[in-house]
Amino acid sequence: MLNINHLEFTFLKSIGAKTVLKKLMRTFSAVVSLDMDQQKIVVLTGAGMSAESGIKTFRDADGLWEGHDVMEVASPEGWAKNKELVLEFYNQRRRQLNTVKPNAGHTIIAKLEEHHDVIVITQNVDDLHERAGSSNIIHLHGELRSIRSVNNPRMRQYHDDDIHLGDLAPDGSQWRPDIVWFGEAVPELERSIPHVMEAEIIIIIGTSLQVYPAAGLIQYAYKAKKVYYIDPKPKSNYELDRTANLKVIEAGAVEGMEVVYNELVISHDQN
């Protein structure tokens, strides 16, 4: 923030630096205006956000989990039954990340940070938001490029290679994918709720809002002046039905974010 103390102001005035002062005051006004216009935006993203990057969605008939019952590869019971199957399943998902790139929707979300205070809360386990440039991201369901100890959920590390049975964490237990499976607690949910409570704008992209507890986050949107819901096949739930100022955009992530960016940034700047 621009800082001009009384002595500096008096000195500039005394030497007749009117032009300098005018420029400084215009700069000061612009900074103040920017701070006043900046809004708290929470972006809630699901599998549809990454679909346009080539990552198939769980809810599609030919989705990411094709050939596997979800409980076989995404539950503690499945892990106990066949650890090698689960490890290989996530090894394949991790390898897939090297073949895809962020889409324009990811890029637009990252660009919003130039104008607003933005936090992304995603159900996705990929790293496409990070690679697009977003800097404030909460992964509700974990991350593919992270592994953790079976015995200690807090013992985790970045990992970009395959995990095999017998790969041990420092505590001597098996490494496992750092993914929140069905039936497990969602540790990052508690950290997400205050952000939703403070949000002035909420953007929901590519999630059916059918999987709880993540789907229940929208109930905390106490201050939201506008809620955008972007999905090519939008669905409703109890929380959405009670949401005021809801705008449904029946489109994919890229097209939908272009509409939202135009409203929040381009149209605003023109007014």
Residue entry with tokens 């090519």: 232
Task: Identify whether 141 is a catalytic site residue.
Answer: yes
Q: Which residue is catalytic, options 106, 139, 141, 159?
A: 141
Q: Which residues contact 258 (CB under 8 A, 6 or more apart)?
A: 104, 108
Long-range contacts of 88-94 (CB under 8 A, 24+ apart): 90/144, 90/163, 90/177, 90/179, 91/162, 91/163, 93/64, 93/125, 93/144, 94/144, 94/145, 94/160, 94/161, 94/162
Torsion over CA: 165, 167, 173, 179 (sign): negative
Q: Which residues carry out catalysis?
A: 141
